[in-house]
Amino acid sequence: MSKENNSAMLRLKQDYLHLKMDPVPYVLAEPVPANFLEWHYVVKGPESTPYEGGYYHGKIIFPEEFPFKPPSIYMSTPNGRFCINARLCLSISDYHPETWNPAWNVSTILTGLLSFMIEKTPTLGSINTTDNEKKRLAMQSLEYNLKDKTFCELFPETVEAIKIELERRKGKRPDESR
Q: Which of 37, 84, 89, 152 is catalytic?
A: 89
- CA dihedral of residues 144, 146, 148, 154 (deg, nearest 10): 130
List strands edge to edge, sheet with 55-61.
27-32, 35-44, 55-61, 72-75
User: Cα-atom radius of gyration of the chain, to the nearest Å?
Assistant: 17
Proportion of the chain in helix, strand, coil states, percent, rounded to 5: 45, 15, 40
**DSSP state, residue 84:** T
Q: Determine the Cα–Cα distance for residues 123 and 4; give it in Å rounded to an integer.
A: 30
If one counts every other C-beta atom within 10 angstroms of the C-beta of residue 80, the result is 21
Active site residue 83: no
70 in Cβ contact with 87 (< 8 Å): no
Query: Helical H runs in the chain?
Result: 3-21, 106-118, 131-146, 149-154, 156-171
Active site residues: 89
